[in-house]
Amino acid sequence: MYQAERLKRWLPAIVFVCFCCSYLHQLTNTLSRYDRSEKVINEDAFGYYAILPAYFKYHDPNWKFLDSVTSKQEKYANYIPPIVNQIDQDKSVCKYYSGPALLQLPFYFMAELSSNNKDPFDQSHHFYILLSVIFYVVCGFLLIYRQLLQWQYSPLQAGAFISFVLFGTNLFVYTAYDPAYSHAYSFFAFSAFASLLLSIKQKPGPVKFIASGLVFGLILIIRPLNGIVIVLVPIILYGQLTTIFKTHFRYILAATVTAMMFPAIQSYLWHWQTGEWYVYPYGNEKLNLLQPQLLEFIFGYNSGWTLYTPGAFLMVIFGLAGLVVKKQYVRAVLSFLSVTTVLYLMSCWYYLHYGCTAGCRPITDYYGLFVLLMAYGFRELTKNLWIKYLLLTLLSSSFMYWRIVQYQFMNHIINWCDMDKERFEMVFLKTHEVYHYSTYPFWDFSDSENNPVISETIINKTLHLNEKVTPYSIQLPETDCKDSSLLISFSIRADKGNKDAYLRILITDDGQYVEQQTLLLQRKATSGGKFNFQFLIRKSLRKGRAEVRLESTGSLETCSVHLEKLKIQRL
C-alpha cells in the first residue's frame, strides 16, 4: 500500500520527465541526422538573435558589423539573411522584434563567458541559444501539464495531451529543426499568460496581475499580431470580469503599467537605431486587411494549416464542440470568434505562406492554448463510448499522418516553399528515397546546349519493369572535366504506365562510386513523349560506367523506358 501511494505521488513528475527525455532524444536525433546543430541561428532566427551582438558586443546601431565582420566568416561569406530595412538614406533598423532576443539574453551572456572565440555566431553561441529554446519549451509544456493535472486529468492523460501537441504537430519542427525562430518563445509566453489568467480566476493576487501584464507585454514584442491573445481575458474570466474589475482595480492598473515595460524596451531599441521612438520595421511587408486568403491559408496545398497538420485543427474543433456540449455557449462563441480572427489576420499577410515553412508556421504559437481548449471540454465529448473511440481514432490517425508529413518535410519530399495539388498528390504519404526533392524543379541546363560535346553514345535500348531488376550497363569513354564539371544527358522516351516507376542511374569509375541519380518517371513522362534527363558530375572519368535500372516503389504494373542516347558535355 505504501509503495502504491508513493508511486501515485511521484507519477506526475515521472511522466513529465519521460516526456522531456523523449523531446531531448528526438531533438538530438533531428540535429544529428539533418546536420542542424550549426544552423540553430539561421534565417529568421539570425534576425532575432543578431540584436544581442549588435547592442552588447559591437555597439553598432547601423548594423555595419554584418558587412565588416560577419560576412568575412566562411559560413556567412555567400549569404547573410536580410534582417535590416532602410528607413531612409541614413537610418536602418532590424525588422525583427526584440522579444526572442530578450528571452535569449541570459543564455547569450553564458555563451560569451564560456567561449574563447570573439565570434558571436560560433558553435558555442549556437549551443546556448538552442539551450534557451529547450528551456522555454519545457517550461511552456510544464505550465500546460500542471493545468491539465489541476483539471483532474491523470498524469498519463496529461502526458498524452502534451505529447500530441509536441510530436503530433509542426510545433516540433520549430522546437527542433528550426528551433530558434520566434515560435518556441511565443509558445512559452502564451502558455504562461493562459496559466496566469487561470490562476487569477481561481485566486486573484497582485503578483499574478503584474506577472500577467509583463507576459502580455512580452508577447507583443515577440510578434505584435499575437497581441490578440488578450481575448483570453474575457474567455477565461467570463462571469467574473465585473467582480474582478471592481474588487482589484488597482491590480489591473498595475498590470496595465507593467504590460508597457517590454514595449518600452522595444521603443528604446528603435530609438537607438534610428533616433525615432516608433518605426514600422517591416518595410513593405504588411497586412492587406481587405484581401484575406482565409480558405487558402487553412486548406491550401501550399502550407495549408489543416491539410498538413489536421491534429492542430482537430484540437480547435473538439475544443469548441466540448464547450457547446458543456453548455458554455458564450465561451464557445468567444473562442470561435477569436480563432477565426487570428486565422483571418494571418491570412492577410502580404506573403501568405510566411516564407519556406513546414506546414502553417505562425499558428504554432497558439498550440498550447488549443490543447487547453480541447482538454477543457474533452470529457464531455467522451462520455459516450463510441464517440470517445471515434475521437481517439481521429487524433491517433492525425498524429501518425503528421509524423509521415514531418519526415517528408525534413527530407525534402515536400517542397517547403512551393507546393500545389499535383505535387501534393504525387508525394502523398510517400517516403521512398526516390521522392526526395521530387517536388522541386529540375536544374536548368538550357544555357549549356552549345557547350563542347565530349562524347555521344547511341544506346537504343528498351527497359521493361519486372520483378527481376537487372541493370543495363553502358561503358563510358574516358573524359577529363579539366577543373570543371561534366553534364550527363540521357535522351529518353517513356509513358506513364506506372506512377511509381523510376529510373536509377549509377555512375562508377573503375568500380568506384561517382554519382547516383533517380528519376521519378511521372515527373517527365508523357504518352510516348521524349525528354532529356540531365545531371552533373564533378570528376574526370577514366574507366567510367553507367548502370541504369527501371524500378518501382509500388506494384509492378506495365511500364517501359526507351534509352535513345547518352551525351557528355563539359561545363
Cβ neighbours around 457 below 10 Å, total: 15
Burial class from Cβ neighbours inside 10 Å (0-12, 13-18, 19+) for residue 549 reads middle
Vertex 130: Cα angle to 126 and 132 (nearest 5): 120
By the 8 A CB rule, do 529 and 436 touch? Answer: no
DSSP string for residues in 221-270: HH-GGGGGGGGHHHHHSTTTHHHHHHHSHHHHHHHHHHHTHHHHHHHHHH
pLDDT tens track for 264-319: 999 999 999 999 999 999 988 899 999 999 999 999 999 999 999 999 999 999 99
Q: Which CATH architecture has domain 453-570?
A: Sandwich (2.60)
* CA 51 to chain centroid: 22
**Domain residue ranges of the chain, discontinuous segments joined by +:** 282-440, 453-570
**385-411 mean pLDDT:** 95
The pLDDT score that the predictor gives to residue 4 is 63
pLDDT value at 255 more than 80: yes
pLDDT tens track for 99-129: 999 999 999 999 999 877 778 998 899 999 9
The pLDDT score that the predictor gives to residue 355 is 85
pLDDT value at 155 more than 90: yes
Closest to 426 measured CA to CA, from 525, 527, 312: 525
In this structure, the dihedral spanned by the alpha carbons of residues 459, 464, 469 and 474, taken in order and rounded to 10 degrees, is: 0
Alpha-carbon distance of 388 to 376, in angstroms, equals 15
- Taking CA atoms, 20 is separated from 109, 135, 283, 565, in Å, by 25, 10, 40, 56
pLDDT tens track for 168-213: 999 999 999 999 999 999 999 999 999 999 999 999 999 999 999 9
Q: Categorize the per-residue pLDDT at 390 as very low, low, confident or very high, splitting at 50, 70 and 90.
A: very high
- Scored b (16 or more CB within 10 A) or e, 127-142 reads bbbbebbbebbbebbb
The pLDDT score that the predictor gives to residue 2 is 59
**250-264 mean pLDDT:** 95
**545-558 mean pLDDT:** 86
What is the crossing angle of helices 310-325 and 329-346, to 10°? 150
The pLDDT score that the predictor gives to residue 450 is 84
The pTM of the full predicted model, rounded to 2 decimals, is 0.93
pLDDT value at 231 more than 80: yes
Closest to 528 measured CA to CA, from 566, 490, 562: 562
Q: Categorize the per-residue pLDDT at 499 as very low, low, confident or very high, splitting at 50, 70 and 90.
A: confident
β-pair partners for 261: none
pLDDT tens track for 58-78: 999 999 999 888 888 777 888
Cell numbers of 164, please? 500530441
Range of lowest pLDDT (207-221, 273-287, 440-454): 440-454
By the 8 A CB rule, do 436 and 413 touch? Answer: yes
Average pLDDT of the chain is: 92
Range of lowest pLDDT (18-32, 103-117, 139-153): 103-117
The pLDDT score that the predictor gives to residue 312 is 96
